[in-house]
Amino acid sequence: MLRRATRSFGPALTDVREARGFSNQTTRSWGVPSEVAELVVSELAANAVVHAGSGFTVALADDAGTLRIEVQDDGRGAPAIPHAGIDATHGRGLLLVERLAGSWGCREEPGGGKTVWVELGHARLVAGARPGAVSARR
């Protein structure tokens, strides 16, 4: 059964926290593990605020064991995964998203802006890692 939820947020860093809460509340109401989804939503939302300098919309869709997360903002161009040096204080978020995601990408919107999307299988949401990884949780 396909389930969808969408909500728009402002351009402030405090809106990133609100987007995490939206993700948490929505996925839990669907019975879908939420921690990895929260991390992904947080990273994509923060990128919208910091790099696009705009408000953003989070869309969640759950169907057949896959959670799709989309974050649309007013920015242009696809996000790139930077090669952050050991002393860099930022630049690792999209690398985490890439490692957690089953697949991810970006599309330009016809009216301007872009949407970054991520697909996470429910098995990844539970462990927060690729198949075969060991969880440090006890």
| pLDDT tens digit sequence for 99-129 | 888 899 999 999 999 999 999 988 777 654 4
Report if residue 133 sits inside a domain.
Answer: no
| Domain region containing 11 | 3-127
* CATH number of the CATH domain containing 67: 3.30.565.10
Q: Taking a C-beta distance cutoff of 8 angstroms, is the pair 106, 115 a contact? A: yes
pLDDT class for 131, splitting at 50, 70, 90?
Answer: very low
Report if residue 135 sits inside a domain.
Answer: no
CA dihedral (85, 90, 91, 93) in degrees, to 10, reads: 130
Report if residue 137 sits inside a domain.
Answer: no
Q: What's the mean pLDDT when you consider all of the chain?
A: 86
Report if residue 123 sits inside a domain.
Answer: yes
Task: Summarize the confidence of residues 89-104 as an average pLDDT.
Answer: 81
Report if residue 18 sits inside a domain.
Answer: yes
**Exposure pattern of 2-35 as b/e (b: 16+ CB <10 Å)?**
eeebeeebeeeeebbeebbebbeebbeeeebbbe
Predicted local confidence at residue 94, as pLDDT = 84
Report if residue 90 sits inside a domain.
Answer: yes
Report if residue 30 sits inside a domain.
Answer: yes
Q: How many domains does the structure of the chain reveal?
A: 1
**DSSP three-state, residue 55:** coil
Q: How far apart (Å, rounded) are the C-alpha atoms in residues 87 and 74?
A: 30
Whose tokens are 């109401």? That residue is: 29
Report if residue 136 sits inside a domain.
Answer: no
Q: How far apart (Å, rounded) are the C-alpha atoms in residues 46 and 54?
A: 10
Distance of CA 66 to the CA centre of its chain: 14
